[in-house]
Amino acid sequence: MPNTRVLVAGASGGTGRAVLRLLAPRPVTVRALTRSASKTDRLESLGADEVLVGDLFDPDDAKNAATDVDVVLSAVGSTLRDLHGGEFVDGVGAQNLVSAAAAADVRAFVMESALGVGDDPASLLATAFDAVIGPIQRAKADTEAALRAADLEHTILRPGVLTDGPRTDTVQVAEPGAKLWGTVSRADVARLMAAAPWTPTATDRTFEVVDNPLLRRREDLLTIDWVDGPDS
């Protein structure tokens, strides 16, 4: 699908910036969403064709972000600093974006979630996530549920502990409940996010994702032929 229009939500975060770098050389038009106007120049330098300043807590801003795009890549996320701030952007904000995307007839929506989200059996690492950032995990679970219920092709990625390491392409991917554990670079997660809309076997699925050499011989790991984009 050449000339595909892609929205990157959470574009100024670590994963979002990595997504922009991946999309920059591809034949797609990229809209980056950020809450901070001061980050416009930075996002344009990373490859955004358009930078939209908006707040997903505002349904009208979410509607503006999703209008006239084909694919949404949502890398929005809260931090520990947000735990006592009330609503979470990866909860209410992301759900506003899901609703706006469905209303705008967006073709595909990819969500960055986290290990331990939902009621699937979890590793000790995922259980620790729940203990430390439980309210954020529950907000993500609500957004996952909203995305599955929406009339949208979707892929949900649940990465382990995110790092700023390089892209490796050696990640382990499994169905929810596989109890994966470990770290994974934002660059590797970004690669899967950018590939998912063009990967038929990733449609309407949820994956746990880590990069842990100790898990490479697991028999329940999935082999996904990730398609890197419309130029592949």
Residue with tokens 């106007």: 37
pTM of the model: 0.95
pLDDT, one tens digit per residue, over 59-71 is 999 999 999 999 9
Confidence (pLDDT) at 231: 63
- CA 107 to the chain's CA centroid: 15
Three-class SS state of 112: strand
- In the numeric block, which tokens belong to residue 24? 């920059």
Domains annotated for the chain, with CATH where assigned, are 4-215 (3.40.50.720)
- Print pLDDT tens along the chain (232 aa): 557 999 999 999 999 999 999 999 999 999 999 999 999 999 999 999 999 999 999 999 999 999 999 999 999 998 777 777 678 999 999 999 999 999 999 999 999 999 999 999 989 988 988 888 899 999 999 999 999 999 999 999 999 999 999 999 999 999 999 999 999 999 999 999 999 999 999 999 999 999 999 999 999 999 999 998 776 4
Instruction: Give tens-digit pLDDT for 9-45.
Output: 999 999 999 999 999 999 999 999 999 999 999 999 9
Cβ burial, residue 31 (10 Å; 0-12/13-18/19+)? buried
C-alpha 167/C-alpha 189 separation (Å) is 9
Look at residues 33, 112, 101 and name the one whose alpha carbon lies nearest to residue 78: 112
For the chain, what is the total number of helices (H) and then of strands (E)?
6, 10
